[in-house]
Chains A and B, each alone.
Chain A
Amino acid sequence: MPIIEVENLSKIYRTQKRLPGLAGAVKGLFSRDYTEVRAVDGVSFNIEEGELVGFLGPNGAGKTTTLKMLSGILYPTSGTAKVMGFIPSDRKNEYRRQFALVMGQKNQLWWDLPAQESLFLNKEIYGVSDTDYKETLDEMTELLQVKHLLGIMVRELSLGERMKIELIASLLHRPRVLFLDEPTIGLDVVAQKNIREFIKDYNRRTKTTILLTSHYMNDIQALCDRVVVINHGKKVFDGLLETVVERFSQTKRITITFKDGGVSPEQLAAFGKVLESTKVKAVLQVPREEVKKASNEILNRFDVDDINIEEVPIEEVIEKVFEGAAGGRP
């Protein structure tokens, strides 16, 4: 049985339409028109226990809204979500004791107090025993190398340091399900990498189910085998990360190194789109089904030193999916 079951989940916001100018404001006093914004529109997916799933989509696609519905922060307009058999919006204490939510853009720590005070408060709220608390805290601070930061005022921590403490605060009660919303946003490359590695390792060791959203493809590539892609509130893809490329990209890339140059882009244009062409090197974009034929012919016709066939980089594919340019909706 899946640990997270989402079926036809929708969240529709009503916002007031307002005419511009003072006249519009006066009119708004008496009558109001509303527009509907479908933040999440009939999304369904299942996640098995222990999975680490990436949740992808451009800004405003509905990722965060979905996470918030799974956390019970927002009530769905329609559809159902079940996590560990609980309906999140009931906000049962048994449920809330078993999951955690980390948001890169929001802060749950007390600003004017040393970090450890916030951690201790969370311990009490979640009813973690003293021994478990000490053990978990030691382990986590060791892994994230933040032991020396516990006594420092939260407002004086860097963003990266604060994020690590946030992670610890959320994991003290050893949740079975962890929602991570942009955990690396705004962090420098080193901090991003630290957190990424921590998450990966944590998932592997504890078999905690993790659902992660991120802007950075690096995060997703490093962490997730499976991704769910949503755009404009609708699910557009659900499957293995590698298959995103197969599904959405009808082309492959051929990189050719010539022995003694002299091949003009015009000569290559017959095989596919020329992305790059210098005296010694050329990059071609060729439709998937013609790759074999094209590479054979190139080898025959030109004096080739090396030839390399690759998939289109995943960032570019995803970018296209987001733009809606890539065809082949599943």
Chain B
Amino acid sequence: MTTAAPTAQNRSPLHKYWVILSTRTQEDMTYRFNYVFGAIFRFLPLVTMIFLWYAVYMGRNMAPINGMSFKDMIVYNALMYIARGFSSVPGTMNDISKDIKDGLLNRYLIKPMDYFGYQVMYRLAHKLVFWYIALLTFPFVFWFMSASGHYFTHWPTLWEALAFLASLVIAFCVGIQFCFMIGNLAFWFLEISTFLFVVMMLEFFLSGQLIPLNILPQWMHQFLFLSPFSYEGYWPCVILMGKVPQDQLLPVLGRGVLWVGVFYAAVRVMWRMGLKRYSAVGG
């Protein structure tokens, strides 16, 4: 919570955000067991999913489902782990709505910084450690996957690789802005924790984390592919897997950026209206 010392006046205005970031990371590191366990066991659902899909494919003699072979399915789920690592920021909605409800906002409002800027840094810090661990483990996972069973059959082109990186950034932006939006609802509604749960389940489904969006019934595709949530998981996965034709890469990313913009605007508008309300009732 501590911001930069007053002597830091000649430093870049962004310095304080760095301090938030590093303080938060320290917090995480202090409990090392907690961290290591958390990072390792987040792989567990992946294990169940792989074996379950294997059983499904065995039941249909390994015939692909809507163009997704079993190997595709594995790669999709592994990539989903990375994509959701970028787009899901657990606790954000809850913390923001709590800050608003319990009147804790005041202690941020009196500080010379942007609340959402603070939040982004705070969350980013948490993510950094995760990304760091992912960076160490994932090359190994992918190497194993390609060496053992040639799961990773498609080697991405340069364009696909770049589009993948861009889509991860979009995933983070969409994910966190969405959290801000929902968190802001606390200005108007007293009890939103249930709503949060429902929203998170929808996210789980609409992002393609539960089931790859392209194997769901055809009539849903139009809606699913256009929804902002598809950028939180589905698109990064299929882009790197080479399932998106090269001429479609830019339009897909473009729509994603558009969503980021829409969400950003919505967050700002809600924040402004919310604060008016907040100060009106005296916090």
Contacts and interface: CB of A to CB of B under 8 A. Distances in A.
Q: Do A and B contact each other directly (Cβ–Cβ < 8 Å)?
A: yes
Interface of A: 18, 21-22, 24-26, 28-29
A29 B29 contact: yes
A18 B31 CA distance: 12
Given A22-B25, A25-B26, 15 more contacts: A18-B30, A21-B22, A21-B26, A22-B22, A22-B26, A24-B26, A25-B25, A25-B29, A25-B30, A26-B29, A28-B29, A28-B30, A28-B32, A29-B29, A29-B32
Interface in B100-153: none
A17 to B, nearest CB: 12
Contacts of B29: 25-26, 28-29
Interface in B70-110: none
Residues of B contacting A: mostly = helix
Contacts of B26: 21-22, 24-25
A63 to B, nearest CB: 29
A224 B25 CA distance: 51
A21 B23 CA distance: 8
Contacts of B25: 22, 25
Contacts of B22: 21-22
A98 B29 CA distance: 44
Nearest to B36: A29
A26 B128 CA distance: 13
Interface residues of B, number: 6
A147 B32 CA distance: 51
A18 B26 CA distance: 11
Interface string B14-41: 0000000010011001101000000000
Interface centre among A21, A24, A25, A26 (most CB of B within 10 A): A25
A225 B32 CA distance: 50
A222 B155 CA distance: 84
Contacts of A21: 22, 26
17 contacts: A18-B30, A21-B22, A21-B26, A22-B22, A22-B25, A22-B26, A24-B26, A25-B25, A25-B26, A25-B29, A25-B30, A26-B29, A28-B29, A28-B30, A28-B32, A29-B29, A29-B32
A24 B32 CA distance: 13
Nearest to A22: B22
A33 to B, nearest CB: 14
A112 to B, nearest CB: 17
A25 B25 CA distance: 8
A282 to B, nearest CB: 49
Contacts of A28: 29-30, 32
Nearest to B35: A29
Contacts of A25: 25-26, 29-30
A153 to B, nearest CB: 20
Max chain A CB contacts within 10 Å: which of B25, B26, B30, B32? B26
Interface in B1-58: 22, 25-26, 29-30, 32
